[in-house]
Structure 1
Amino acid sequence: MSTPPPTVLLLGFGAIGRQLAQLLEPEHTAGQVRLQAAVRDVDKHRERGDLGVELHAADDEATWAELVRRADIVVECAGVSAARKRGPVVIAAGRDLVLSSVGALAEPTARRQLLAGPGRLHVTAGAIGGFDLLAATAEADGLDSVRIRTRKLAGALVQPWMSEAEAAALRAADTPLTVFSGDPAAAIEKFPGNVNVAVALAWATRGRGADDEQLLAKSLQRVEVELVADPEAELSCHEITATGAAGDFRMRFESAPSPENPKTSGLTALSVAHTLRQVLKR
């Protein structure tokens, strides 16, 4: 009797989830993986096309817990709020969780729950890279400062909490305008769809030790974030500067936004697919 393919449950089936399903089409077609998605409105997603993914309504915690129990791996692609609410259930059930909305780790309670086990958390890099070098230097205590500056079009940075006047002024700016300067935790609260990369950077540079929760908490205080609305930023731009005893490192990444959601990098789904394939190999 042949072994059934692993079941991968997607939390959310929006821009990232749909792109991920397309990226995994070769494995899906070959019967190497079974794809499911937990959504709030099944009919709405079926109208857009399910891309061969089994859609399940998950309006309550009991239903979500049962879907998790039947899955082998869960991939979160539904945003920071959903990651904080639903992710801990996956970890507590002993399942692998691939985290797309890395910003969920900035909140202390969610961070503790997501790192508590027995399930394994897999943190994606998102729209930036170079984490192997940065992690190596941080583990050797070779970094004193870490900074990330993100530039995006103003329209991608408008938030629901902004007044109409604030949003209009942001859209009308004809020169680069700094809309946030501070630490990743504060940044993710104000711009949850834009700065997951800042928390991912803090994760990569947390250093070495037995307690990832404490290491990340300290790293979140060290990383500096600047978010700039730039009328000429046709591509999202992330500039990283890291300095210390190990050297002076400067990296720049420019990526096209997701075709379905300009607030999300088009590279995010690629990063999630890469991480998921690594988990599936193990």
Structure 2
Amino acid sequence: MSRATPRKVGLIGWGAIGRVVGGALAAGQVPGAELVCVVDNRPLAGTAPAPQRTVEQAMETCDLIVEAAGQGVVREWGAAILASGTDLLIASTGALTDDTLTDKLLHTTPGRVYFTGGAVGGLDLLQAVRAMGPLDEVRLTTTKLPATLEQPWMDAELLRRMRSATGPVEVMAGTARDVPVKFPKSTNVAASVALAVGDPDAVRVSVVADPAAAHTSHVIEASGAHGAYRFEVRHLPAAANPATSQVVPYAVLRSLAALAGRTGQIL
């Protein structure tokens, strides 16, 4: 049954994800949810379909805040939002490779924290398999256009290899704990897989730059005593921000619809 009173939603971030989510909310496309305000560190000058507010003001007027602005917002404001009694839906799951932060968010009340899987599928199955016993091996290979993966910490040689590449180039290999820290805007999928598996250190991640990557791809391979699993997704990058996939805001909207009380969904 739908909630009698619409959820009052505040949106942090008016970028490639936030604009799609905010526009859909303002157009009434999520029954049971109402966009109350938008938070962004840039003046929006009336371009958003709801008043621009500070995070503190959003906590006072909303019962659900959607984070669509990056890992730093989760670190800085996540616990405070929950402590205020406001629920929090996190898109930037990369922040949750920090065990201390994750534990704090999971145990801060009275607000409740929720996560969206974003650009990857199969997480529910990995969670189900994990309940039967540990997975022996979990690997994620993410492939994107080189320009979307460039980072300030990269040395001149790595940048040269990426920019002059004529084929795939591995730019980093590590665990799901290491990689999202190095690529804070483009590898939230690694953290989502780690959350499903229950251990960031158990997920081996390879980040690949490919100048021919018309689609962003994520390949998850997992195996254990109960079976072997492989999932592959290929998304078009978002036009406004090629570091993220077009599908991400729609994953956020699906999570919002579930939180707003729409029934008949496989959660």
Instruction: Flag whether TM exceeds 0.5 (same fold).
Output: yes
CA-CA distance at 1:142 after TM superposition:
5.1
Tell me, which stretches of 5 or more residues in structure 1 are unaligned?
Answer: 59-63, 207-218
Deviations 1:217-272 (CA, angstroms, capped at 9, x unpaired): xx111011110001111100000001001211111000011111011111111111
The answer for the alignment partner of 2:59 in structure 1 is 68
Query: Which runs of structure 2 are paired with 1:9-158 in the superposition (5 Å)?
Result: 9-27=10-28, 32-42=33-43, 45-46=44-45, 49-50=47-48, 52-56=49-53, 58=54, 64-118=55-109, 119-141=111-133, 143-158=135-150
Match of 2:216 among 207, 215, 236: 236
Deviations 1:57-81 (CA, angstroms, capped at 9, x unpaired): x3xxxxx234213211010001011
The answer for the alignment partner of 1:280 in structure 2 is 260
AA aligned opposite 1:81: G
Native 8 Å contact 2:8 2:62 kept in 1 = yes
AA aligned opposite 1:260: A
CA-CA distance at 1:32 after TM superposition:
4.8
AA aligned opposite 1:109: T
More helix by share: 1
Using structure 2 for the length normalisation, give the TM-score.
Answer: 0.90
What SS does the corresponding residue of 1:115 show, helix, strand or coil? helix
Deviates more, 1:25-34 or 1:192-201: 25-34
Deviates more, 1:264-273 or 1:139-148: 139-148
AA aligned opposite 2:104: Q
CA-CA distance at 1:205 after TM superposition:
1.8
Aligned partners of 1:134 and 1:96: how far apart in 2? 26
Native 8 Å contact 1:124 1:271 kept in 2 = yes
Count of residues in Structure 1 that have an aligned counterpart in Structure 2 = 258
CA-CA distance at 1:159 after TM superposition:
1.1
Aligned partners of 1:186 and 1:32: how far apart in 2? 36
CA-CA distance at 1:167 after TM superposition:
2.7
Deviates more, 1:114-123 or 1:165-174: 165-174
The answer for the alignment partner of 2:188 in structure 1 is 196
What SS does the corresponding residue of 1:273 show, helix, strand or coil? helix
Using structure 1 for the length normalisation, give the TM-score.
Answer: 0.85
Aligned partners of 2:184 and 2:31: how far apart in 1? 36
AA aligned opposite 2:112: R
What SS does the corresponding residue of 1:185 show, helix, strand or coil? coil
Deviations 1:183-212 (CA, angstroms, capped at 9, x unpaired): 112101111111101110111122xxxxxx
Native 8 Å contact 1:147 1:224 kept in 2 = yes
Matched, 1:184 2:181: no
How many percent of aligned residue pairs carry the same amino acid?
34
Native 8 Å contact 2:173 2:207 kept in 1 = yes
Deviations 1:128-169 (CA, angstroms, capped at 9, x unpaired): 111221111011115221111000010110112334554343
The answer for the alignment partner of 2:204 in structure 1 is 224
Tell me, which stretches of 5 or more residues in structure 2 are unaligned?
Answer: 263-267
When the two chains are superposed, the root-mean-square deviation of aligned CA atoms in Å is 2.0
Name segments (4+ residues, structure 1) moved above 6 Å.
Answer: 28-31
Native 8 Å contact 1:188 1:196 kept in 2 = yes
The answer for the alignment partner of 2:243 in structure 1 is 263
AA aligned opposite 1:111: T
Distance 1:247 1:33, change over 3 A: same
